[in-house]
Amino acid sequence: MTKFIFVTGGVVSSVGKGVCVGSIGRILKSRGLSVSLLKLDPYLNVDPGTMSPYQHGEVFVTDDGSETDLDLGHYERFVNVQLGKLSNVTSGQIYSDVIARERRGEFLGGTIQVVPHVTDSIKERIMALAESSSADVIVVEVGGTVGDIEGLPFLEAIRQMRNEVGRDNVFYTHLTFLPYISSTDELKTKPTQHSVRELRGIGIQPDAIICRSDQTVPEGLRSKIVVHCDVPIEGVLMLPTVSSIYEVPLILEDQGMGNLLSDTLRLNLKDAGRESLNGWVEFVDQIKKPKETLEVAVVGKYVDLHDSYMSVKEALIHAGLHHDRDVEIRWVGSEDIEKDGAESYLSGVRGIVVPGGFGYRGVEGMIDAVQYARENQIPYLGLCLGMQVMVIEAARNLLGKKDANSTEFDEKTDNPVIDLMPDQVGVTDKGGTMRLGVYPCEILGEGASARAYGGSETVIMERHRHRFEFNNSFKVSLASVGLVATGVSPDGQLVEIVEYEDHPFMAGTQFHPEFLSGPTRPHPMFREFIRVVSNGVVKTPNGANSTTNGGNGKDSLGFERDTNSKALHGSQSGSTTDA
């Protein structure tokens, strides 16, 4: 029988519920259980694919081509599982499904209501994941905070689950926040008490309360929460803000989370503590130990909200740790580069990343960043749009085709070096209509990609989310100026990677390698990029290039990742958003 752990949030949002859920998954997986995870999002969008990154942060893409909440990225990174479309359910999906069934006459004669029709549909989705994953445990996060109007059907559904699947098979965890009052120098539990009261009003009595706080929590507060919220003392867990999210599984396990889950859910796991998290403990030690810092610029248009580039940020951290370095990100707005020039913002960085994006705003600044990296021999990694701007820059500045562009930004250009894929012509729906999910790519040549992926002819599987493509009619001319295709689809039709072989590292991928990077399994492209960055050349403010004392490329932990995600094939569908 599958066991279910439901995680709700109270008091305020943005206190790291996704990280907590991933950490609980990690703890159980390390104890030998199979784990799957599910995010219930109460908003009415069918998926976050059409939302602006400013609304939602990054859109995380799974192997099967689903555009999902960024928390799924945390789940995959923490638990090292491959999730799919069953792992992100929104109100939009539930309501459109219930209404479609009503129109088909499936409920003939009945009045369609939130309870039971919407709640039943929610429970069906939860059970569908349990069935298809056959996991021992499903960890389910309910998005938003208790008290949100749109979250009510989800809370009602998870309340009903305890009766339906049995008391021993369901565990409720509530994550709250303890605010700090500086004038009296104390942390307050009252908002937690109120939010638990609200939850109990709905009929859910939490088995555990995890209290996030920016300060260390005095022991006395634990018993106060026990009294007011009616949870056992071992069910009150403290989660002070820590410098790395990867510490969270250890913090929870040190307070007995694994044993508590095992006892309540009758999992019969052997009594253990953090020693069960072997590998993870060493990884966190590695994070905490002082080491050389590498400053890498991420140039994009959504840089004010770092969550927009969550997986890129994490992939850089993973690769840095692999080489015993701390990567510090310099967030650079591409529109600022347009105003003041690349030198003002990029001088002194050890590497440059241009991540994905949609729409023309800020693109010229990204092209300037590419030129700066190319001319100054600064390691550069382009991700999707970051690859496309590399191609535009080469056509403009090396082939002299001044109007070269992507037809996404200039439909009438005479030099459409990036163009709509043939099967995208005529597609007008924005939701779920891009090229999404994993597709194979064959590595060619002897350059950075071959070094990263283990040699020419290797076939890799990577995740995609794009509508436009490298235009093959410019392949030969671009190669003549040094920009070569070193990754193509197995039928040779689609260019997946381009790079300059005479540059220390300058590569762009049409796919999104960041989605496959994990804490102890850095992605090969990021790993190779950071290896070169750590040995690299820095353009200093006075204009001179100097060699850094850099690294020895030592792979400190010796972790390797599986480069071939076994995956369902992505569907030929997707969406775009500009903001």
Q: Which residues bind ligand GLN (CB under 6 A)?
A: 356-358, 384-385, 388, 408, 465-468, 576
- C-beta closer to ligand GLN: residue 143 or 508: 508
Q: How far is the CB of 469 from ligand GLN (least distance, A)?
A: 7
CB of 408 to ligand GLN, least distance (A): 5
Distance separating alpha carbons of residues 135 and 169, to the nearest angstrom: 13
CA 183, distance to chain mean position in Å, is 38
The DSSP symbol for 569 reads: P
**Nearer CB in complex with ligand GLN: 302/453:** 302
Distance in Å, CB of 461 to ligand GLN, minimum? 17
The residue among 405, 435, 295 whose CA lies nearest residue 352 is 295
For tokens 């790519």, the residue is 441
Q: Is 512 a catalytic residue?
A: yes
Which residues lie across from 439 on neighbouring strands? 462
AA identity, residue 202: I
Instruction: Specify the residue for token string 């650079």.
Output: 332
User: Considering the complex, what minimum distance in angstroms separates the CB of residue 308 from ligand GLN?
Assistant: 12
| Catalytic member of 384, 441, 496, 523 | 384
Compare residues 4 and 309 and give the one whose CB is closer to ligand GLN. Answer: 309
Which of residues 5 and 385 has its CB atom nearest to ligand GLN in the complex?
385
Q: Determine the straight-line distance between the first and last CA of the chain, rounded to whole angstroms.
A: 45
What are φ and ψ of residue 32, in 5° steps? 95, 5
CB of 212 to ligand GLN, least distance (A): 32
Of 318, 514, 523, 528, catalytic: 514
Cα–Cα distance, 85 to 348 (Å, whole number): 42
CB nearest ligand GLN: which residue? 356
Helix (H) and strand (E) counts in the chain: 19, 25
Least distance to ligand GLN, CB of residue 449, Å? 18
Alpha carbon 182 to its chain's center: 35
Which C-beta is closer to ligand GLN: that of 253 or that of 393?
393
Sheet strand arrangement including 506-509:
325-333, 292-300, 351-354, 380-383, 506-509, 495-500, 483-488, 435-443, 459-466
Give yes or no: 514 in active site.
Answer: yes
Of 515 and 529, the one with the shorter C-beta distance to ligand GLN is: 515
Quick check: 68 and 61 in contact, CB under 8 A?
A: yes
Tokens read off for 27: 């703890």
- Min separation Cβ 447 and ligand GLN, Å: 22
Q: Which residue has the tokens 């690769």?
A: 319
What DSSP designation does 518 have? B
Helix axes 280-288, 310-322, angle to 10 degrees: 90
Contact (Cβ atoms closer than 8 angstroms) between residue 568 and residue 415: no
Q: Which is nearer to ligand GLN, 466 or 527 (CB)?
A: 466
Amino acid at 564: N
Residue 464 annotated as catalytic = no
Q: Number of C-alpha atoms within 13 angstroms, CB side, residue 453? A: 26
3-state secondary structure 279-327: CHHHHHHHHHCCCEEEEEEEEECCCCCHHHHHHHHHHHHHHHHHCCEEE
Supply the residues annotated as catalytic: 384, 512, 514
